[in-house]
């Protein structure tokens, strides 16, 4: 074996262990009894430290140095680059910190599961304080090793190459654009009949059956995936066994349905990653902004569009035995594109969604930068929501406890949501330009032309290209908020 092929075997073992870790996380979020939390924390800590030791052992550095001298093709060279990137990030941390962080993440997540429904931030604060201290320590260690700002060092784990210096002006531009635009949208909306939520209740069994029908239509492979329930919708598992979750509300089927469609977009991306590189760094999803672009493309760009509802409205009505004006495609379109500032990010419309992300981005930068403490989060959250959306949560359950991410250790993650929304508009516009049949086929319930284009342009590329190059190859330009703004104007002011 050459140094490079030894590295491939090394990283195959490292990534397979990571996949096992992912399935354990799914189990913890869906079916694990609460009494299993301590054992699960131990399992995850051992897995993470084992993986860390595998990646940071002295032979990895030697193999990386030797492999750099070997003649490789383009994909192998890109794979080697991704290997080195993961190795550099791992060697910034010692094993004790990796283990401590893993245990703190498990403890804080379990505390959040009880605190969120009770709206009791005080209940999670002790565990959150421990976690934040370890996240700051991790950020500092990675920053020193990588020559980055601490927040950028965390961001880089989710968005390779992503930096605050690029995100800040982008978000400032959106923050300047959206308030005036929101006012125009609300005025335009007020001139039209208000949509009507079809009469419920909507039994969970019917919602689940509808979700399965929609997932199958979009191309979800149930031989390689499943749908379950959790407190916070997510997509996990592995490409051969994709696990997505949702949560149901018998008074409103749209929230669960849109969550399922969103997570199906993630799942389709995972299933479309290059099979030949499945257990190599180059075969992984490129970044969280690209992952979010695929979920938001399906949920926002496609499944809230008139062509999609021409196909879906009859299926939705049939699922709940509904008939009449409330169930027709025009009403459902107005319902699913209704703009109204709200408290919950995952239920937010496209126009107000970036404000939710900007609030979180500012807070996590302040926490990591040490200018704010975890105890300050509720008041700062409420102030941010009041300033950007004009609303104040009545309690922390609908405020700073609503997202799982900070409580399970995902710091530096939130800006990727809005980066993904911008990319989604850009990618879908490019897809429609390249294949004029895409929207007409969507109206018939045929998503194959869209998925074929996405498969070639995005999914099959894995991590072979940096994000700017991937977007440029697929759409003709790097990330461009102008396309997103045009999409919003076309949909909400037309």
Give the DSSP per-residue string, 142-183. HHHHHT--HHHHHHHHHSTT--HHHHHHHHHHHHHHHHHHHH
18 pLDDT tier (thresholds 50, 70, 90)? very high
* 201 inside domain: no
Interaxial angle between packed helices 288-296 and 253-272, expressed in degrees from 0 to 180 and rounded to the nearest 10:
130
Pairing of strands 241-246, 225-229: parallel
How far is the C-alpha of 322 from the C-alpha of 90, rounded, in Å? 54
Q: What are the C-alpha distances in Å from 242 to residues 26, 47, 274?
A: 10, 20, 15
Count CB neighbours of 204 within 10 A: 14
With a CB cutoff of 8 Å and minimum separation 6, the contacts of 384 are: 358, 359, 362, 363
Average pLDDT over residues 165-187: 96
- Cα 275 to chain centroid, rounded: 22
Given phi > 0 = left and psi -120 to 50 = alpha, else beta, which region is 478? beta
Q: Could you tell me which residues come within 8 angstroms of residue 95 by beta carbon, excluding any fewer than 6 positions away?
A: 49, 52, 53, 56
Residue 185, pLDDT above cutoff 90: yes
Sheet with strand 241-246: strands edge to edge = 225-229, 241-246, 235-238
Measured from the Cβ of residue 222, the count of other Cβ atoms closer than 10 Å reads 11
Q: Is 247 a member of any domain?
A: no
190 Cβ partners below 8 Å, 6+ apart? none
Contact present, 479 and 487 (Cβ < 8 Å) = no
Question: What's the CA angle centered on 375, arms 373 and 381, to 5 degrees?
Answer: 90
275 in a structural domain: no
What is the reported pLDDT for 453? 98
Residues 6+ apart with CB under 8 A from 33: none
Sign of the Cα torsion 96, 151, 163, 406 reads positive
In-domain check, residue 430: no
Cis omega (within 30 of 0) for bond into 77: no
Range in 206-220, 225-239, 412-426 with the lowest mean pLDDT? 225-239
The rounded distance, in Å, linking the Cα atoms of 132 and 320 is 45
Q: Give me the mean pLDDT over the 58-66 stretch.
A: 95
Residue 90, token pair as written in the block: 């791992």
pLDDT bracket for residue 204 (50, 70, 90): very high
Q: Look up tokens 């300050």; give the residue.
A: 376
From the list 433, 423, 438, the residue with the least C-alpha distance to 483 is 423
What does the radius of gyration of the chain's CA atoms come to, in whole angstroms?
Answer: 22
Does residue 316 belong to any structural domain of this protein? no
Token representation of residue 320: 């709940």
Residue 303, domain member (yes or no): no
Range 125-153 average pLDDT: 98
Average pLDDT of the residues in 448-454:
98
In the predicted structure, residue 232 carries a pLDDT above the cut 90: no
pLDDT score at 369: 96
List beta partners, residue 238: 241
Altogether, the residues listed in the chain come to a count of 494
Mean pLDDT for 227-250 is 93
Outline where 375-414 has alpha helix (H): 377-389
What pLDDT does residue 1 have?
76
Per-residue confidence (pLDDT) for residue 56, from 0 to 100? 95
3-state helix, strand, coil in the chain (%, to 5): 70, 5, 25
- Compute the average pLDDT of residues 93-118: 96
How many whole angstroms from its chain centre is CA 183? Answer: 28
Domain count, the chain: 1
In a domain? residue 229: no
Percent of the chain with pLDDT over 70: 100
The CA angle 85-109-50, to the nearest 5 degrees, is 40
pLDDT at 458: 98
Judge residue 69's burial from the number of C-beta atoms within 10 Å of its C-beta, 0-12 exposed, 13-18 middle, 19 or more buried: exposed
Dist CA 172 CA 192 (whole Å): 31
Q: Which residue has the tokens 């009545």?
A: 394
pLDDT of residue 366: 98
Q: Is 345 exposed, middle or buried (0-12, 13-18, 19+ CB in 10 A)?
A: middle
pLDDT per position as a tens digit, 305-359: 999 999 999 999 999 999 899 999 999 999 999 999 999 998 899 999 999 999 9
- Report the 10 Å Cβ neighbour count for 274: 18
pLDDT of residue 108: 97
Q: Which residues are catalytic?
A: 263
| pLDDT, the chain, mean | 96
Return the pLDDT at 326.
Answer: 95
> Which backbone phi and psi does 317 adopt, to 5 degrees?
-60, -45
pLDDT at 163: 97
What's the rounded mean pLDDT across residues 451-473? 98
Q: What's residue 289's pLDDT? A: 98
Q: What pLDDT is stored for residue 494 in this prediction?
A: 85
High-pLDDT (> 90) share of the chain, %: 97
Mean pLDDT for 153-163 is 97
Does residue 141 sit within a domain?
yes
Domain extent, residue 107, equals 3-149
Query: Does the global pTM surpass 0.85?
Result: yes
User: How many H helices and E strands in the chain?
Assistant: 20, 3
Question: Phi, psi (5° rounding) for residue 229?
Answer: -115, 145
Q: Is the pLDDT of residue 416 over 90?
A: yes
């Amino acid at each position: 074996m050459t140094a490079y092929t030894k590295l491939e075997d090394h990283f195959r073992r490292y990534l397979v262990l990571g996949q096992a870790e992912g399935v354990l996380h799914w189990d913890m979020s869906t079916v694990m009894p609460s009494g299993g939390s301590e054992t699960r924390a131990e399992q995850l800590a051992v897995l993470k430290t084992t993986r860390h030791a595998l990646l940071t052992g002295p032979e990895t550095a030697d193999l990386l140095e030797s492999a750099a001298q070997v003649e490789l093709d383009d994909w192998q060279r890109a794979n080697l680059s991704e290997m080195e990137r993961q190795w550099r990030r791992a060697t910034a941390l010692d094993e004790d910190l990796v283990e401590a962080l893993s245990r703190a993440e498990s403890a804080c997540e379990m505390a959040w599961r009880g605190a969120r429904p009770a709206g009791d931030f005080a209940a999670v604060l002790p565990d959150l304080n421990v976690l934040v201290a370890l996240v700051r320590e991790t950020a500092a260690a990675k920053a020193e090793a990588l020559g980055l700002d601490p927040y950028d060092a965390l961001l880089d784990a989710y968005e390779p190459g992503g930096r605050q210096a690029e995100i800040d002006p982008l978000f400032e531009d959106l923050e300047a654009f959206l308030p005036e635009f929101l006012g125009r949208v609300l005025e335009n909306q007020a001139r039209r009949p208000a949509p009507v939520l079809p009469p419920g209740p909507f039994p969970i069994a019917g919602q689940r059956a509808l979700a399965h029908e929609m997932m199958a239509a979009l191309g979800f492979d149930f031989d390689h995936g499943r749908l379950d329930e959790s407190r916070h919708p997510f997509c996990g598992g592995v490409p051969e066994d994709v696990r997505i979750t949702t949560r149901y509300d018998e008074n409103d089927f749209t929230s669960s349905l849109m969550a399922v469609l969103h997570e199906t977009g993630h799942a389709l991306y995972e299933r479309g990653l290059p099979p030949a590189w499945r257990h190599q760094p180059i075969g992984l999803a490129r970044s969280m902004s690209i992952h979010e672009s695929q979920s938001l493309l399906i949920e926002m760009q496609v499944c809230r569009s008139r062509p999609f509802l021409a196909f879906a409205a009859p299926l939705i009505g049939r699922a709940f035995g509904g008939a009449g004006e409330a169930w027709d495609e025009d009403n459902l379109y107005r319902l699913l594109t209704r703009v109204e500032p709200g408290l919950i990010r995952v239920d937010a419309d496209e126009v107000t969604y970036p404000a939710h992300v900007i609030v979180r981005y500012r807070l996590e930068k302040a926490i990591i930068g040490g200018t704010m403490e975890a105890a300050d989060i509720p008041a700062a959250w409420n102030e941010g929501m009041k300033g950007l959306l004009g609303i104040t949560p009545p309690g922390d359950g609908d405020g700073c406890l609503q997202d799982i991410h900070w409580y399970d250790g995902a710091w530096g993650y939130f800006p990727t949501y809005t980066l993904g929304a911008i990319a989604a508009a850009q990618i879908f516009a490019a897809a429609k330009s390249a294949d004029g049949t895409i929207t007409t086929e969507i109206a018939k319930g045929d998503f194959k032309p869209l998925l074929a284009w996405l498969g070639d342009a995005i999914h099959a590329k894995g991590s072979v290209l940096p994000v700017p190059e991937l977007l440029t190859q697929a759409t003709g330009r790097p990330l461009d908020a102008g396309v997103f703004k045009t999409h919003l104007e076309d949909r909400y002011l037309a």
